[in-house]
């Protein structure tokens, strides 16, 4: 989009010209004009809602991004937009699972300082067991209904195959595509998160064509009309559990009494562990370094972590000898875990 290119050139390349001059330059060049030729808009009735009444939610899914190193990262962007002020809350999420859905919405409500009275949603399976159509009201997922009840908002499912219902979300969602102008230009996830926040702040600070005022200014008034947040216990329940841990000299960290491995480069480092859907996502400096499934085993080594640890311990030994010893050692630990599990079961 022209607006994406213009803002990118201003933000990153120091372009110093007005938007109207930039548009004029595009129109003067036939190839550019053809490339940026807008699609014909479908007719629709314009609707507005009162302050605090409604927000619209959507996912921008499976964006494929490459860092400077060539490493690929597939991510999703959650979007919650207040319908009256058009104030936007956008955040990068590794998954669109129900756990991430609840985590995203809880963080969004906390950032907004309140809860809208109703939320317009699509028919994703994490929210709707049966899609709403012109002939059917559909069926809301019971866990999502419980989430809505706990926060006090009403669920308004879109009618399937009618995109205009969520126009306030789906049009701004195109702005999120702006993050893809940085494809191949950033070093890591931390920089990607920072750029997403920068794009969000810019979108909330620009004059919105629909209302003629920057969303951030209208939001200051709309915020007064939002429902209050539930108590901290409810908010904490729906947010993904995050713990801080330190990796010991064996390349292991502790979670609920059991030990899990990380690459040897992170020995003695402080890490962040997110517990989602019975999985442990392990981060260092905002970068995902490994993933474990929550286990009842006392010691949980990934084979490559274990071999690297053995190679570090016996650095002067033959590689094949180390490999063979590592395999035997893993087998011994497996037997130990099984025996310990038997004892634990007998005691309980």
Q: What is the pLDDT of residues 81-96, one digit of tens each?
A: 999 999 999 998 888 9
Confidence band, pLDDT 50/70/90 cuts, at residue 43? very low
Whether the pLDDT of residue 2 is over 70: the answer is: no
Instruction: Examine the domain organization and report whether 231 and 270 are in the same domain.
Output: no
Instruction: Examine the domain organization and report whether 224 and 248 are in the same domain.
Output: no
Instruction: Examine the domain organization and report whether 231 and 113 are in the same domain.
Output: yes
Instruction: Examine the domain organization and report whether 147 and 119 are in the same domain.
Output: yes
Is 64 part of any domain? yes
How many CA atoms lie less than 13 Å away from 108 in the CB half-sphere?
29
Instruction: Examine the domain organization and report whether 6 and 84 are in the same domain.
Output: no
Q: 182, 203, 237: which is the final residue of a domain?
A: 237
Instruction: Examine the domain organization and report whether 20 and 154 are in the same domain.
Output: no
pLDDT in tens, 110-165: 999 999 999 999 889 999 999 888 888 889 999 999 999 999 999 999 887 555 55
Q: 219, 237, 255: which is the final residue of a domain?
A: 237
Q: What is the pLDDT of residue 44?
A: 46
CA 299 to chain centre: 30
Instruction: Examine the domain organization and report whether 178 and 272 are in the same domain.
Output: no
Instruction: Examine the domain organization and report whether 150 and 271 are in the same domain.
Output: no
Average pLDDT over residues 152-180: 72
Is 114 part of any domain? yes
Is 45 part of any domain? no
Whether the pLDDT of residue 167 is over 60: the answer is: no
Q: What is the pLDDT of residue 161?
A: 59
Whether the pLDDT of residue 45 is over 60: the answer is: no
Instruction: Examine the domain organization and report whether 4 and 151 are in the same domain.
Output: no
Whether the pLDDT of residue 216 is over 50: the answer is: yes
Angle at 10 between CA 7 and CA 12, to 5 degrees: 100
Is 304 part of any domain? yes
Q: Tell me how far apart the alpha carbons of residues 288 and 274 are, in angstroms, rounded to a whole number.
A: 10
Instruction: Examine the domain organization and report whether 328 and 301 are in the same domain.
Output: yes
Whether the pLDDT of residue 1 is over 60: the answer is: no
Instruction: Examine the domain organization and report whether 190 and 260 are in the same domain.
Output: no
Mean pLDDT across the chain, nearest whole number?
85
Q: Tell me how far apart the alpha carbons of residues 161 and 56 are, in angstroms, rounded to a whole number.
A: 16
**pTM of the model as a whole:** 0.66
Helices (H), 2-158: 2-13, 19-28, 30-35, 98-112, 142-151
Is 147 part of any domain? yes
Instruction: Examine the domain organization and report whether 202 and 326 are in the same domain.
Output: no
Confidence band, pLDDT 50/70/90 cuts, at residue 103? very high
Q: 237, 261, 284: which is the final residue of a domain?
A: 237
- The encoded tokens of residue 238 equal 């729906």
Domain span at 176 = 50-237
Whether the pLDDT of residue 63 is over 70: the answer is: yes
Using CA atoms, how far residue 255 sits from 273, 279, 298, in Å, is 9, 11, 10
Average pLDDT over residues 308-317: 86
pLDDT in tens, 183-209: 999 987 778 888 999 999 999 998 888
Please give the residue that has the higher pLDDT: either 265 or 9: 265
| Counted domains in the chain | 3
Is 283 part of any domain? yes
Angle at 25 between CA 23 and CA 31, to 5 degrees: 100
């Amino acid at each position: 989009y022209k607006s994406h290119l213009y803002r990118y050139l201003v933000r990153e390349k120091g372009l110093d010209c007005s938007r109207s001059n930039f548009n004029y330059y595009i129109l003067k060049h036939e190839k550019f004009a053809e490339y940026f030729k807008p699609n014909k808009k479908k007719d629709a009735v314009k609707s507005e809602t009162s302050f605090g009444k409604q927000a619209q939610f959507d996912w921008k899914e499976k964006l494929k991004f490459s860092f400077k190193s060539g490493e690929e990262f597939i991510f999703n962007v959650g979007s919650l937009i207040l319908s009256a002020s058009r104030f936007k809350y956008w955040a990068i999420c590794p998954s669109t699972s129900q756990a991430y859905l609840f985590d995203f919405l809880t963080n969004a409500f906390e950032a907004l300082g309140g809860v809208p009275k109703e939320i317009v949603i699509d028919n994703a399976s994490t929210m709707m067991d049966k899609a709403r159509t012109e002939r059917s009201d559909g069926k809301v997922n019971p866990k999502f209904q419980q989430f809505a009840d706990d926060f006090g908002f009403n669920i308004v499912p879109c009618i399937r195959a009618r995109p205009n219902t969520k126009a306030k979300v789906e049009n701004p969602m195109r702005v999120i595509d702006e993050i893809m102008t940085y494809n191949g230009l950033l070093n890591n996830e931390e920089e990607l998160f920072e750029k997403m926040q920068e794009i969000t702040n810019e979108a909330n600070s620009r004059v919105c064509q629909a209302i003629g005022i920057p969303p951030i200014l209208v939001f200051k008034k709309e915020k007064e009309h939002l429902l209050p947040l539930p108590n901290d216990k409810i908010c904490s329940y729906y947010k993904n559990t995050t713990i801080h841990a330190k990796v010991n000299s064996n390349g292991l960290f502790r979670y609920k009494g059991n030990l899990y491995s990380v690459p040897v480069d992170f020995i003695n480092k402080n890490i962040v562990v997110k517990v989602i859907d019975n999985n442990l996502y392990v981060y260092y400096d905002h970068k995902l370094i490994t993933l474990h499934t929550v286990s009842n085993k006392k010691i949980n080594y990934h084979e490559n972590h274990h071999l690297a640890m053995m190679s570090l311990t016996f650095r002067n030994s033959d590689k094949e000898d180390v490999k063979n010893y590592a395999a035997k050692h893993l087998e011994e630990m497996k037997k130990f875990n099984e025996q310990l599990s038997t004892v634990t079961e007998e005691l309980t």
